[in-house]
Amino acid sequence: MERTFIAIKPDGVKRGFIGKIISRFEDKSYKIVAMKMINVTLEQAKKHYAEHEGKPFFDSLIKYITSGPIVAMVLEGENVIAGTRHIMGKTNPNEADVGTIRGDFAQVKEYNIVHGSDCTESANREIDIYFDKSELCENYKTMLEIVMEH
């Protein structure tokens, strides 16, 4: 099974969309392997956005992600990276389809509610930034997994 890192960004938390966003992923039957609300440290933010260091928008990315708590999650499922990115919608909310998280809740690209890993390498790197291995709850079955066994 594939894994991805998802973060409900500070604007999503501040606007009270945590439950609505999580339900979108649960509705798709993705398994939540880890989840916590945290204040992103400067060190975590710089690691998360390392590929953008030196770009004109780097400082604003760091300021934004550290401006309030995020809800960090690890999701697992078949093609979960592509699937969650589809549920989130395009990065620019003005281009995101209605029915996606960004299309329904975000107004501007700089405050687009949610982050999701774009590939396996990014997912592994981002999961390691925000979670220790001991925080991953791997040894349980979702109701869907139990039903599928029978």
Helix and strand numbers, DSSP H then E, in the chain: 8, 4
Pairing of strands 31-38, 114-116: unpaired
CB 78 within 8 A of CB 2: yes
Catalytic residue among 48, 52, 86, 115: 115
Instruction: Examine the residue annotation and report whether 115 is marked as an active-site residue of this protein.
Output: yes
Burial of 126 (C-beta count, 10 Å sphere; 0-12/13-18/19+)? buried
Kindly provide the residue ranges of all beta strands, DSSP E only, lying in 78-130, ordered along the sequence. 114-116
Q: How far apart are CA 128 and CA 148, in angstroms?
A: 30
Please give the positions annotated as active site: 115
